[in-house]
Structure 1
Amino acid sequence: MQTAVIGQPDESKNNVPYTGPIIDMHLHAYHADANGPPPLPFCVPISTMIQHFDPKDTWMEVVMKASENPNCEGLLLSPETDEELIKQTVGQLQKHNITAVLSGEVDFLPDWLKAAPNRFIPSLKFSLPADEMPIDSLEAIIKANNIKVIGEIGNQYHGIAANDPGMDKYWELAVKLDIPVAVHLGSGPPGAPYLGFPNYRVKFSNPLQLEEVLNKYSGLRMSVMHYGEPFIDEMIAMMYTYPQLYVDLGGIMWTYPKAYFYEYHLKKMVLAGYGKRIMFGSDSMNWPGLIGKSIDIINEAPFLSLAQKEDIFYNNAARFLRLEIKK
């Protein structure tokens, strides 16, 4: 009799799609023009949209030119108004039976929440230095708006490491309120430092910087958005050492070609035995079609069993958020 190996993908049940309820841990409440004048084209995978660059040119101009005449198979166009963006996003959530952790600014979240109150879990977008405030002010905002998650914490875009001492009072508040946090560690848009984020640094993707944070705040419930990509070995080591640490797939499945994402990212984490702490995230911003594409990429992973897909799409997030696990 063949003995099962912990973490070993079950390839005997390949290509069986998961069709049950989904929790999307990584959805953004953006304005329609947040990434530029709509309609904006978007190629999947985004890493191949511009395959080479000569620095005699300006990266922003090259990106804009590529956007005017995109050459890709997975082309998406963004809705032109806030109302249409919300409507199409809610349509995707209803179509795929999704409840989404919705990250946004406190003054714009209500526009989304009222469109489908049963489909959203409100999460507060937060980054230093822009959102720095007295701790009692942040606590009041969280309580007044029924915020369930703090995130996306996007300090990396501003050149601030996750273990920066300026975050200590915010980690303390999260522990006090017993509210989970979602931290951006990983890739931004291609050429991020030349697209309005001059302080973005790849080195701050490394999850090892979370070591002192998790040691100091052992009661902190933390999800690493984008799973600290490309630092997979470091992420696995952190998950081994800190068993409370979860990750979400946060859009990396459509950032790179599927074969690369499967072989060197997702499969490696599953083989390491951490299929119970990997959560689905679409990272949908201005392109609602990314939600369905993200679901398809996970469902098409040839090494995932149906049970493993169910964990990624639903069970793991329900456990992390302390929700009732429904079938």
Structure 2
Amino acid sequence: MKNMRRIYAALAIVLLLSKTVASGQTENEIQHNVSYKGPIIDVHLHAFHAEDNGPPPAAFCVPVSSMIQHYDPKDQWADVVVKKSKNPDCEDPLWSPETDEELIMQTVEQLERYNVVGVLSGEIDFLPQWLEAAPDRFIPSLKFSLPADEMHVDSLEALIKTFDIEVIGEIGNQYHGIAPNDPRMDKYWQLAVKLDIPVAIHLGSGPPGAPYLGFPKYRLKFSNPLQLEEVLNKFPSLRMSVMHYGEPFIDEMIAMMYTYPQLYIDLGGIMWTYPKAYFYEYHLKKLVAAGYGKRIMFGSDSMTWPGLIGRSIDIINEAYFLSLAQKADIFYNNAARFLRLTTKD
């Protein structure tokens, strides 16, 4: 009788384990369903003016790729975008605040709600207004693009020191038709090495129809991270993050991260550009599966819609294939390491 009870008990355990595995509720799988609740570093935050993305209030749909699904070129793309921003089709649009003060206040509210410190990219004449609102929530980063911001390297160094700038970026040369390896940037890369200050460069998609929205020289081909190869060879001590992870050049990005182990990436904006299923399967899952979960950083790319911060956090927390430890790396540890702050790993 004892033997029979042991057999029944063993069968019960087997059945329970089978049921648990089948329903995805193993200990490992349960961990994947847990949301990260710790501190977050958002390495991709913008100090914009309220009207920088069109007359406020303007609606924003997530994912962006579904906001305008078809277009007849008999119309002006900019007019179509503005019209849709006033009358969106999505069920739960985000609306931009109407004033700079409201934009700053709502952004700070999001940062405090989710326990976020943001690397704040902005122009030197507007950054102080943001920093004064919540100095403990922002890491100042200098927005920089050629040709508009081209200056003597000594002048840039003076700006960085005077305003306690901790990151150079977003470097938006791509919007102006300038390749990542343009030699005009060499003196600025050298300055970043000299000051031991990290840089963040835009490689990837801009807004839909970017060449028709005020960026006529924007070229998608300059998203390819392979064009950074000579830069990283010339300046091996440069701390560089690729914003938007060079999307859509995922395989090239993986190859660059393999060849240049100092290279980091951030997810800014792309997680809400495409439907989650696409972003998960063909972007994030692939980058993690390749072994680079320790160099992927969280970024909301919040501009004039502060609600993008919370939406972006949810998208990463809902990634079914990420463990809690992997989420902690993406949300905090990797950025802390890149910025040389205190890490939790």
What TM-score do the two structures reach when normalised by structure 2?
0.91
Which residue number corresponds to residue 14 of structure 2? Answer: none
Question: Separation in 1 of the partners of 2:92 and 2:169?
Answer: 28
- From 79, 90, 98, the equivalent of 2:116 is 98
Which amino acid in structure 1 is aligned with residue 309 of structure 2?
I
Q: 2:232: which partner in 1?
A: 214
Deviations 1:19-75 (Å, cap 9, x if unpaired)?
000000000001111111111110101111011111121111111221221001230
What is the CA distance between 1:11 and its match in structure 2?
4.3
Instruction: Summarize deviations over 1:60-116 as a string: whole Å, max 9, x none.
Output: 111122122100123000011111100000000000000110000011111010111
Is 2:85 the partner of 1:67? yes
Match of 2:255 in 1: 237
Contact in 2 for aligned 1:44/1:73 (Cα 8 Å):
no
Identity of aligned residues (%): 80
Q: Within 5 Å, which residues of 2 pair with 1:97-246? A: 97-246=115-264
| 1:237 CA displacement | 0.1
Contact 1:32 1:81 survives alignment (8 Å):
yes
Q: Secondary structure at the match of 1:244?
A: coil
| Aligned pairs (5 A) from 1:82-93 | 82-93=100-111
Matched residues in 1 for 2:234 and 2:343: separation?
30
For 1:73 and 1:313, locate their aligned partners in 2 and report how far apart those are by CA, in whole Å.
28
**Structure 1 position 49 matched with structure 2 position 64:** no
Preserved contact between residue 54 and residue 82 of structure 2 (Cα < 8 Å): no
In 2: Cα distance, 1:164 partner to 1:261 partner: 30
Q: Could you say which residue in structure 2 is the equivalent of 1:292?
A: 310
Q: Which residue of 2 aligns with 1:318?
A: 336
Q: Of Structure 1 and Structure 2, which has the larger fraction of its residues in helix?
A: 2
Could you say what the CA RMSD is over the residues aligned between the two structures, in angstroms?
Answer: 1.0
Give secondary structure in 2 for the equivalent of 1:224: strand
Which has the larger Rg? 2
Shift of 1:130: 0.3
Q: Which structure carries more relative contact order (alpha carbon 8 Å, separation 6+)?
A: 1
Question: Counterpart amino acid of 1:100?
Answer: G
2:323 is aligned with 1:305: yes
- Structure 1 unaligned segments of length 5 or more: list them: 1-9
- Listed as ranges, the gaps of 5+ residues in structure 2 are 1-27
Alpha-carbon contact 2:268-2:298 (below 8 Å) kept: yes
> For 2:296 and 2:46, how far apart are their aligned partners in 1?
19
Pairing partner for 1:256 from 262, 274, 279: 274
Which residue identity lines up with residue 98 of structure 2 in the other structure? E
When the two structures are aligned, how many residues end up with a matched partner? Answer: 318
Aligned-pair CA distance for 1:12: 5.4
SS of residue paired to 1:114: helix
Distance in 1 (alpha carbons) for counterparts of 2:133 and 2:117: 13
- Alpha-carbon distance in structure 1 between the residues aligned to 2:313 and 2:344: 19
Residues 248 and 280 in structure 1, CA contact (< 8 A), matched pair in contact too: yes
